[in-house]
Amino acid sequence: MHKKTLISWTALPSSSGYAPRANLFFNPLNPRCRAIHRCTNPVISAFLPKGFSEITQETVGKSLHAFCIKNYLRLSIFHSNTLINMYLKFGKFKAAWHVFDEMPHRNEVTWNTMISALVRVSLYSDAFLLFSQMRAQGFETNGFVITSLLTGCTGSGAMVHQGFQLHGLIVKNGFLYDVYAGTALLNFYAAYGFYSCARNIFEKMPEKNVVSCTSLMVGYSDHGDFMEVINLYKQMRLEDVNANQNTFTTVITSTEDELLGLQVLGHVVKCGYESNVSVTNSLISMFGNLGRVQEACYVFNHMSDHDIISWNSMISAYSLCGSLDNFLWGDAVHGLVHKLGFDLNLSVCNTLLGMYSETARSKEMTKLFSEMHVKDLISWNSLIARHVQEGKVSIIDFVIEMSMEGDSNATTLKSECSKKPKSVGCINYQTKTRICSTCKNGEFEIISQLP
């Protein structure tokens, strides 16, 4: 038999001797079958009716597969399908493909499983080739495989024409009213920017679920049409369609109205997503942007877990609302950040720098900056911008320190004033402009030469 590639394979003919041995596992007189049935491991003893579907450990599944090979026990199509699923579950795509490639007979489930697997590992072109071979062998197109292929078209970002062809198959085979195929098609058009087509499909769907609604919402959000996101959300509420994590995060990031923000918060609590980190982080950011620090604090305090985004969102909320009370709360958050060890995180420290800069607290900002173990472009730009605005110190000293930080020979810093710093290329355009606007003649000459 010639060597097969991933897609180009040749099915074994029925005269290969497979058929007489196909049901060997179901022969109760076969001693090997009795050995499996009498095994004390319940997963193995249930092999005959359930195949490899109950396997939860990779070593057990491989051992059972090896036993079948060693004892010349041929698997039925059902058992082979469960074996393919087992290998895919453990992330062993090549092993799953080998099982598929060696199967002399396949059914619709076999084809669907492998096409879906090819899409999951981003082999989109191979998935379409396999789909063509599936149709060439007389298997009917079904909604499951169409959904998988449309997902592949969306994921590839460069298969718009294949998506159009799948749309034709959907219409031809009557899958437009299949909620899963319809949702995948809607998501495809939204991902490629065909929002009118996506909305048209959405309106024609007799049954809408949370995935179809959220897919259209994400499309409008990416397009910057936040009003349509809100309108869809209100339509979902009227039609009693449940919301999920992605729905809430999309709606929250599109909300610019305080009353609607409070209503969404109530809906989040009602649906039990008040402990979901992604949703709550979005709520904190939303309330911060709306100037509702009290509500942002309420959400933050009721979170069971906090991540870096949670802290950054809360700090940003305080910095956006410049009252004295919020200054005090900002200090409290800084203290808590230090207590919990987040002061070693560069992202959190940069957010604190931004908070102190927005509230014109250069003393606390400079102290935090000096205590930071690691500094990046954002750290330096924040500090320089603050000092430029206040005009308190010589700008050139910051530039020299920035260019030479990490140099053990500190005595060379001042001598570098007349030279073009070699590593100041990280100063961004905005900060450089601010520096130049406040420089004296000698300083301007050096700063203006920076890349």
Pick the last residue of a domain from 53, 78, 106. Answer: 106
Return the biggest CA–CA distance within the chain: 100
Rg of the chain over Cα atoms, rounded to whole angstroms, equals 31
Pick the last residue of a domain from 90, 106, 122. Answer: 106
Q: What pLDDT is attached to residue 67?
A: 84
Provide the residue range defining the domain that includes 83: 1-106
Output the CA–CA distances (angstroms, integers) from residue 350 to 372, 379, 383, in the order listed.
10, 6, 10
Residue-level pLDDT, tens digit, the chain, 451 residues: 444 443 433 333 333 333 333 344 445 555 666 566 666 667 667 777 888 988 899 998 998 899 888 877 788 899 999 999 999 999 999 999 999 999 999 999 999 999 999 999 999 999 999 999 999 999 989 999 999 999 999 999 999 999 999 999 999 998 988 888 999 999 999 999 999 999 999 998 888 889 999 999 999 998 899 999 999 999 999 988 999 999 999 999 999 898 999 999 999 999 999 889 999 999 999 998 888 888 888 898 888 888 888 877 887 777 666 544 455 555 666 665 666 666 667 777 787 787 777 777 777 787 888 888 788 877 877 777 777 776 655 555 555 555 555 443 333 333 433 443 443 444 555 555 555 555 555 454 444 554 4
Q: Which two tokens stand for residue 44?
A: 């193995």
300: in domain? no
292: in domain? no
Pick the last residue of a domain from 56, 86, 106. Answer: 106
What's the total number of domains in the chain? Answer: 2
Output the CA–CA distances (angstroms, integers) from residue 347 to 223, 328, 374, 377, in the order listed.
28, 21, 10, 11
27: in domain? yes
d(CA 18, CA 417): 84
95: in domain? yes
Residue 393's nearest CA partner among 334, 440, 333, 441 is: 440
Which residue reads 């800084």 in tokens?
334
Q: What pLDDT is attached to residue 362?
A: 75
Angle between helices 179-191 and 195-204 (to 10 degrees): 160
6: in domain? yes
d(CA 100, CA 130): 12
315: in domain? no
440: in domain? yes
pTM over 0.95: no
142: in domain? no
